[in-house]
Chains A and B, each alone.
Chain A
Amino acid sequence: MKLRAKILLASGLPLLVLVAVVAVLLLQRLFSTQLDLAKDSIRAEAEAIAQSLEEENHRTVQTAATMALAQQNGLFGRRADSVAYARAVLEANPEFTGAYFGYEPDADGRDRSTIAGLDGRALDDTGRFLPYWFRDDSAGGALALTPLVDMDISYYYRGLRNRVSGEAEGTGISLENGISQLYDGRAPVAGAVPLMITEPYVYEGKLIVEQTAPIIIDGRFRGLAGVDRALTDIDDFLRGQRTHQSSEFLLISTRGRIISATGAPDLRTLPLERTPYEGWLAPLYRGEWSEGVLEMEDPLSGETRFVVAAAVPTGGWQLVVSVDEGEILGPVRAEVLKTLLVIVAGLMVAAAIAYVFTRALVGRVETAAGTAEKVAGGDLTVRVEAEGSDETGVLLSSLRHMVDSLGGLLGRLKSSSVQLLSTANEITAASRKQEQINNDIGASTSEIAASTSEISATAQELLGVMREVSASSGTTAEVAAAGRTDLDSLQETMQGLLAATSSIAERLEVMAQRAESIGTVVTTITKVADQTNLLSLNAAIEAEKAGEYGAGFAVVSREIRRLADQAAVATLDIGRLVGEVQESVSSGVAEMSRFTARVRDGVREVTALSTQLGTVIEGVESLKPRFDAAHRGMEAQAAGAGQINDAMLQLRDIALLSGESSQATRTASAQLLAAVEDLKTEIARFRTR
């Protein structure tokens, strides 16, 4: 890379990056500020138009209210005055298309009596007072009078009466296209007196909206006063008020019908849900519309538009203003682009200035470079022109001084190189000898290392064997210990058995004693029976000898003898059983004693065995530390051998290294020689003065 490019890059690039970052931030900021301003202007437009609509509505409905107040305060029943008053109101307000009163049937009880004296155009067939003044377009806009019609199916009359009497506003109403299903019964005009602003409807080619107020006397609904206003020109009105070229408007009534759609006049009087704009209007109508300007797609054109809404409180209307995205973003983008161009132009001017300065500086440096190149080529005869006092001037004078010094230095170098040549030869010879010696040392140490390696391997093997022996003795000790534990538990079991047999023997002993005492009792009974038998026998003998005197006695004696015999037989049976029991018990006792003796022997043997095993375990356990000690000794020996081996290997490595280094020395001296030769050649190349 050229010096000039480097300088430019070093000084210009950081600045360029900084400027770029600042510019991006600045442009972003500018963009968002400009956009906010544009949105504010749309919002301001919507609010201004909504405000003028509000004023119109307010004034119109207040006019109707004022007319009703006149009826309530003296005008009621004065039919001729009322007709004149309505006409005067229409004349005074050119923006109205109609002004009227409408009484309930026979509201003041004088419908019949006044028919004769009144203009027939103010009454219907029954004489009901319904004067309606309007501008007759077919007669060039002259005022005309006719009775009101459709009172019972229209918002302006029936709707108002419904509201006054507390009924649902829409009861009995018939309206072309109907109202929105989203309508929740909200009143179009808030206030103590129920005022009515009807749905705009098309009447004789005109879009009409009616504003009526009730005539309430003594708490009763007697009729109403009202004025009509044409909304036919409302699209033009809205367009005339707009501040953006591409503004389009949507106006919806309190009952959700389209009053105006400047982009699509066909939608007029349709309920909002039957229009393509339902997606915009339904949230607005439900009160779910967020404040501020939204970016939304127009369902008809598919363009993206900035949309904002504003409320018209009197009448309950809602105005939606939408502006084409391009109209808003175009000027914002132009502003941003302009700023960007200014930044780029500034950067280009800065770059040009930097280039001029760099060029002057680089000229001197190039002169110095040319001189240095000649010197490098061996031409020391060159003359350097030094001028100027800045850094580049100093550089050139230094260069001249350097060329002079180099000439002197070369002369001295020539003589030194000859000396250097002989020294290099000597070094080469010495290093060759040293290399030979190092090789010898390396061989010897390698042999020693091999021997110690063998020793180390043997020691390792021995160590392995010792480790196994140690492990086996450990295992043996564990097995013996486990055996002793088993024997202990066996001994315990045997002791338990011994205790159990002793207890059984004791019980058998008790049984034997019991059987013996039973035997004694049996013997006694037997003896008694025997004695009784004997006695009865002798009694029988005596009775026999007494002849017939002893006959009774003989019977008794025979009975006694029989009883005694039975007793004897029973006792004999018992005696036999007892004998058997005694026999079994005594044999059981004998058997138990033998068994006990055997168990005792067993316990003795187990104890002896346990003791012997204990001795064995102690022996094995005492063996283990000795094995361990031997093992440790072996380990130490192996480690020692390993260390010797390592030391030998290190020694050999050192010898090898030493050999290598002496070889390197030789190589170096050879190189030195070559270098001195080169030096001579180089020196010869210079032309000096």
Chain B
Amino acid sequence: MLLVLFRIGAERYGLDARSLVEVLPAVPLRPQRGAPAGCAGLLAHRERTIPVIDLTLMATGKPAAQRLSTRIVVANYRAGPPGSRIGLLVEEATDAREVAAEALVDPGIATPDAPYLGKVVGEGERLVQVVELDRLLSRELRDALFPGGGS
């Protein structure tokens, strides 16, 4: 399994590459007034308009730093309407790592405030935690961003 790595604060996280469409530079987004917290704006992508979530903002309350390594990861959002996609603004999305499925282990700590945090895997001396896309958005947020329904 290939994990596309990024960072929130000082911690490393990973996204399953199979659910991803592509990684883009942090192009300017069109801000959406009145959008719920965590929504960074709208991105024009391949003749579609997709919402972009600032993961750093969502996890730490501070917006992602504006760096070259801060990028937008476009992913297929299976929790939303079919074919819907979502953009994730993350810091230091510059690397990918192939990990064995058996190496992934449960962290053993329940995180009700951050339901999207999944299994962890050793990456060098540090741990990388997998972010589950399906559990990323709260219901309210999902409904606000994908009003077309879903599971």
B96 to chain A: which residues have CB within 8 Å? 537, 540-541, 544, 557-558, 561
Interface residue from B18, B21, B71 paired with A534 (Cβ < 8 Å): B71
* Residue pair B25, A534 in contact (C-beta under 8 Å): yes
Within 8 A of A (CB), among B9-23: 17-18, 20-23
* Residue pair B68, A541 in contact (C-beta under 8 Å): no
Report how far A100 CA is from B25 CA in the complex, Å: 164
Residue-wise interface mask of B (78-119) relative to A, using a CB-CB cutoff of 8 A (1 in contact, 0 not): 000000000000000111101000000000000000000000
Given contacts A541-B4, A544-B17, A545-B17, contact A534 B23 (CB under 8 A): yes
Report how far A540 CA is from B17 CA in the complex, Å: 8
Interface residue from B1, B23, B68, B98 paired with A537 (Cβ < 8 Å): B23
Cβ distance B78 to chain A, nearest Cβ, rounded Å: 15
Report how far A533 CA is from B96 CA in the complex, Å: 10
Cβ distance B53 to chain A, nearest Cβ, rounded Å: 19
Report how far A533 CA is from B24 CA in the complex, Å: 11
Within 8 A of B (CB), among A538-559: 538, 540-541, 543-545, 554, 557-558
Report how far A540 CA is from B4 CA in the complex, Å: 9
Decide if the interface of chain B is mainly helix, strand, loop or mixed.
Answer: strand
Interface residue from B18, B23, B68, B69 paired with A545 (Cβ < 8 Å): B18
Cβ distance A537 to chain B, nearest Cβ, rounded Å: 5
* Residue pair A533, B94 in contact (C-beta under 8 Å): yes
Cβ distance A430 to chain B, nearest Cβ, rounded Å: 142
Cβ distance A102 to chain B, nearest Cβ, rounded Å: 151
Cβ distance B136 to chain A, nearest Cβ, rounded Å: 18
Cβ distance A189 to chain B, nearest Cβ, rounded Å: 143
Report how far A540 CA is from B99 CA in the complex, Å: 13
Interface flag for B2 (CB, 8 Å): yes
Report how far A540 CA is from B1 CA in the complex, Å: 11
* Residue pair B2, A561 in contact (C-beta under 8 Å): no
Residue from A526, A527, A558, A565 having most chain B Cβ neighbours under 10 A: A558
Count how many chain B residues have C-beta atoms less than 8 Å from C-beta atoms of the other chain. Answer: 19
B24 to chain A: which residues have CB within 8 Å? 534
* Residue pair A554, B23 in contact (C-beta under 8 Å): no
* Residue pair A537, B2 in contact (C-beta under 8 Å): no
* Residue pair A537, B25 in contact (C-beta under 8 Å): no
Interface flag for A404 (CB, 8 Å): no
Interface residue from A533, A541, A558 paired with B22 (Cβ < 8 Å): A541
Report how far A554 CA is from B2 CA in the complex, Å: 10
Given contacts A530-B68, A561-B96, contact A537 B4 (CB under 8 A): yes
B22 to chain A: which residues have CB within 8 Å? 538, 541
Report how far A434 CA is from B83 CA in the complex, Å: 165
B98 to chain A: which residues have CB within 8 Å? 554
Within 8 A of B (CB), among A198-231: none
Given contacts A534-B23, A534-B25, A554-B2, contact A541 B94 (CB under 8 A): no
A534 to chain B: which residues have CB within 8 Å? 23-25, 71
Interface residue from B68, B93, B94 paired with A565 (Cβ < 8 Å): B94
Given contacts A530-B68, A554-B2, contact A541 B95 (CB under 8 A): no
* Residue pair B17, A565 in contact (C-beta under 8 Å): no
Count how many chain A residues have C-beta atoms less than 8 Å from C-beta atoms of the other chain. Answer: 17
B1 to chain A: which residues have CB within 8 Å? 544
Task: Kindly report which residue of chain B lies nearest to residue A527, judged by CB atoms.
Answer: B68
B18 to chain A: which residues have CB within 8 Å? 544-545
Cβ distance A302 to chain B, nearest Cβ, rounded Å: 140
Given contacts A526-B68, A533-B94, contact A541 B25 (CB under 8 A): no
* Residue pair B2, A540 in contact (C-beta under 8 Å): yes
Within 8 A of B (CB), among A649-677: none
Cβ distance B12 to chain A, nearest Cβ, rounded Å: 15
B17 to chain A: which residues have CB within 8 Å? 540-541, 544-545
B68 to chain A: which residues have CB within 8 Å? 526-527, 530
* Residue pair B95, A561 in contact (C-beta under 8 Å): yes
* Residue pair A541, B71 in contact (C-beta under 8 Å): no
Task: Kindly report which residue of chain A lies nearest to residue B3, judged by CB atoms.
Answer: A544
A545 to chain B: which residues have CB within 8 Å? 17-18
Within 8 A of B (CB), among A354-410: none
A537 to chain B: which residues have CB within 8 Å? 4, 23, 93-96
Cβ distance A544 to chain B, nearest Cβ, rounded Å: 4
B93 to chain A: which residues have CB within 8 Å? 537
Task: Kindly report which residue of chain A lies nearest to residue B24, judged by CB atoms.
Answer: A534
Cβ distance A26 to chain B, nearest Cβ, rounded Å: 147
B69 to chain A: which residues have CB within 8 Å? 530
Task: Kindly report which residue of chain A lies nearest to residue B95, judged by CB atoms.
Answer: A561
Report how far A557 CA is from B97 CA in the complex, Å: 11
Task: Kindly report which residue of chain B lies nearest to residue A564, judged by CB atoms.
Answer: B94
Cβ distance A86 to chain B, nearest Cβ, rounded Å: 160
Report how far A527 CA is from B22 CA in the complex, Å: 18
B21 to chain A: which residues have CB within 8 Å? 541
B23 to chain A: which residues have CB within 8 Å? 534, 537-538, 541
A558 to chain B: which residues have CB within 8 Å? 96
Within 8 A of B (CB), among A552-604: 554, 557-558, 561, 565
A540 to chain B: which residues have CB within 8 Å? 2, 4, 17, 96
Task: Kindly report which residue of chain B lies nearest to residue A526, judged by CB atoms.
Answer: B68
Report how far A557 CA is from B93 CA in the complex, Å: 15
Residue from A533, A537, A543 having most chain B Cβ neighbours under 10 A: A537
Report how far A481 CA is from B94 CA in the complex, Å: 78
Task: Kindly report which residue of chain A lies nearest to residue B69, judged by CB atoms.
Answer: A530
Task: Kindly report which residue of chain A lies nearest to residue B71, judged by CB atoms.
Answer: A534
A543 to chain B: which residues have CB within 8 Å? 2
B95 to chain A: which residues have CB within 8 Å? 537, 561, 565
Task: Kindly report which residue of chain B lies nearest to residue A540, judged by CB atoms.
Answer: B96
A538 to chain B: which residues have CB within 8 Å? 22-23
Residue from B2, B17, B24, B96 having most chain A Cβ neighbours under 10 A: B96
Task: Kindly report which residue of chain A lies nearest to residue B98, judged by CB atoms.
Answer: A554
A554 to chain B: which residues have CB within 8 Å? 2, 98
Report how far A261 CA is from B111 CA in the complex, Å: 168
Report how far A537 CA is from B92 CA in the complex, Å: 12
Task: Kindly report which residue of chain B lies nearest to residue A547, judged by CB atoms.
Answer: B18
A544 to chain B: which residues have CB within 8 Å? 1-2, 17-18, 96
Within 8 A of A (CB), among B45-76: 68-69, 71
B2 to chain A: which residues have CB within 8 Å? 540-541, 543-544, 554
Report how far A537 CA is from B21 CA in the complex, Å: 11
* Residue pair A530, B4 in contact (C-beta under 8 Å): no
Report how far A217 CA is from B108 CA in the complex, Å: 169
Report how far A561 CA is from B22 CA in the complex, Å: 15
A557 to chain B: which residues have CB within 8 Å? 96
Cβ distance A371 to chain B, nearest Cβ, rounded Å: 167
- Can you list 19 contacts pairing A with B, beta carbon distance less than 8 Å? A526-B68, A530-B69, A534-B24, A534-B25, A537-B96, A538-B22, A538-B23, A540-B96, A541-B2, A541-B4, A541-B17, A541-B21, A541-B22, A541-B23, A543-B2, A554-B98, A561-B94, A565-B94, A565-B95
B-binding residues in A (CB < 8 A): 526-527, 530, 533-534, 537-538, 540-541, 543-545, 554, 557-558, 561, 565
10 further interface pairs, Cβ-Cβ under 8 Å (given A538-B22, A541-B4, A541-B23):
A526-B68, A527-B68, A534-B23, A537-B23, A540-B96, A541-B2, A541-B17, A541-B22, A544-B1, A565-B94
